[in-house]
Amino acid sequence: MKGKKLIAILLITLLAVSGILTGCGGSGSNGSSEESGTPVDDNKVYTLKWAHVSPAENDKQADAIIEIMAKIEEESGGRIKIEHYPSSILGNEEEIFEGLQLGTIEIGTLSAGSLGGFYPGVLATTTPFLFQSREEAWEFFDSETADWLADQVFQNTGVKCVGWAENGLRCFTSTKKQIKSPADIKGMKIRTQQNPVTIAMVESLGGSPQPIAFAELYTALSQGAVDGQENPPSLIYTQGLYEVQPYLTLDYHVYDFLGIFVNPDSIEKMPAELQEIFQKNIDEFVKIEREKSRAYDERDIESMKNAGVSVYTLSQDEYKQMVDACKPVIDVVRDKAGDEAVDKILAQVEELRKN
């Protein structure tokens, strides 16, 4: 009997100890998640590298990044730290995207031309004269079709798009004369991105497209290797391109998005509350950067005028000539981007104009 009592006492003791241990096993600063069993360290700091090719300061993107970096660090209590790598320090846009795929870069911002080499469907958004205003483009990139586009990027590349900001409305500049019509572009050597749609656009206008890396553009223009180029006004100014391009035409032929892309594993390894803080501030970044883009364009156009640049806005007739000359480019867009992306994007734009 004594033996049986001893066994019973031992069993009760073991059960009690087991209950105590189980009670200590929930989420805590030194515990583990009850759902996944993954250790949680409430004091861990997550460092994220944010890379892009734009200048380090006095630039819409860089200034917006610096502003949002401080907010993210403050709201996360210092648990998320962002390291800023502007000016192609970590490579050109294609190299940045490859870094996102490999996980050596956590956040990167890219324009459509570079992203198109990884997922061609986005090139449909670079159809010449697709959008009638930047506000219309913003509405499009806040739509479900833009969400679908982001999902396609993820499915095809493994990289996640967490927001669509603005690279800008692209315009032509030239060394020799003011561009007012396709006839003025005929025979000109125009620098383009490695974007088959932009290349086709320049060809349709009678020019000779010359794909050149952005970092090499100023040198190519100053040495006369090309006669002109196309970029948003703020980049034309901050990169000093106006110094060797005395003619600027505000034709706004392409709205160029600035996608915010992340390595999903790097973000998803953070606790849920930090992921929420991160995404909330990325949404805020989109708003801030878009408004800076508009304001900086206005500021920098005035600065270029004051520096002696001839700034020209197309008349309605001149604008129509440019639009009509670019109509055949849609065939190239369909060939490169695919009918599904083109049809969805055109349908969304048409729907926006009904409202």
Q: Return the higher-pLDDT residue of 25 and 261.
A: 261
Question: pLDDT tier at 41 (50, 70, 90 boundaries)?
Answer: low
Please tell me the total number of residues recorded for the chain in this structure. Answer: 355
For residue 245, count CB atoms less than 10 angstroms from its CB and return exposed for 0-12, middle for 13-18, buried for 19 or more: buried
- Sign for the pseudo-dihedral over CA of 95, 96, 97, 98: positive
Look at residues 226, 237, 343, 335 and name the one whose alpha carbon lies nearest to residue 295: 237
Neighbouring residues of 80: CB distance < 8 A, sequence distance ≥ 6: 45, 46, 48, 72, 73, 270, 274, 277, 278
Please report, rounded to a whole number, the percentage of residues in the chain having pLDDT higher than 90: 85
Structure tokens belonging to residue 50: 């944010």
Give the whole-angstrom CA distance, residue 293 versus residue 298: 9
DSSP 145-208: HHHHHHHHHHHHHS-EEEEEEEEEEEEEEESSS---SHHHHTT-EEEE-S-HHHHHHHHHTT-E
Q: State the residue for tokens 């890396």.
A: 213
Strand partners of residue 228: 174, 190
Enumerate the β-bridge partners of residue 39.
32
The residues that bridge with 230 in the sheet, in sequence order, are 172
pLDDT digits (tens, 9 = 90+) for 76-93: 999 999 999 999 999 999
For the chain, what is the mean pLDDT? 90
Q: How far apart are CA 74 and CA 63, in angstroms?
A: 17
Residue 35 has pLDDT above 50, yes or no: no
d(CA 152, CA 159): 10
Higher pLDDT, 58 or 260: 260
What are the tens digits of pLDDT across the range 167-197? 999 999 999 999 999 999 999 999 998 899 9
Tokens of 251: 């034709």
| Other C-beta atoms lying within 10 Å of the C-beta of residue 73 | 17
CA distances (Å), 289 to each of 44, 151, 275, 284, 301, in order? 29, 22, 21, 9, 18
Q: What is the mean pLDDT of residues 258-273?
A: 98
Tokens standing for residue 61 = 């993107």
pLDDT score at 299? 96
Which pLDDT belongs to residue 96? Answer: 98
Contact 94, 114 (CB under 8 A): yes
Amino acid identity of 148? W
Phi, psi of 31 (to 5 degrees): -100, -150
- Residue 300: its H or E element: helix 272-306
Q: 153-164, pLDDT tens digit by residue?
A: 999 999 999 999
- Domains within the chain, CATH numbers bracketed: 46-350 (3.40.190.170)
What is the SS3 assignment for 258?
Answer: strand
For position 306, what pLDDT does the model report? Answer: 98
So what's the pLDDT on residue 157?
98
Residue 20 token pair: 């105590």
213-228: burial string, b at 16+ Cβ within 10 Å, e else: ebeebbebbeeeebbb
Task: Write the CB contacts of 107 (distance below 8 Å, at least 6 apart in sequence).
Answer: 48, 49, 50, 51, 82, 100, 260, 261, 262, 263
pLDDT tens digits along 91-148: 999 999 999 999 999 999 999 989 999 999 999 999 999 999 999 999 999 999 999 9
pLDDT for position 214: 84
Q: Is the pLDDT of residue 202 over 70?
A: yes
pLDDT at 150 > cutoff 80: yes
Please name the helix (run of DSSP H) or strand (run of DSSP E) that holds residue 313, with its range, or none.
strand 310-313
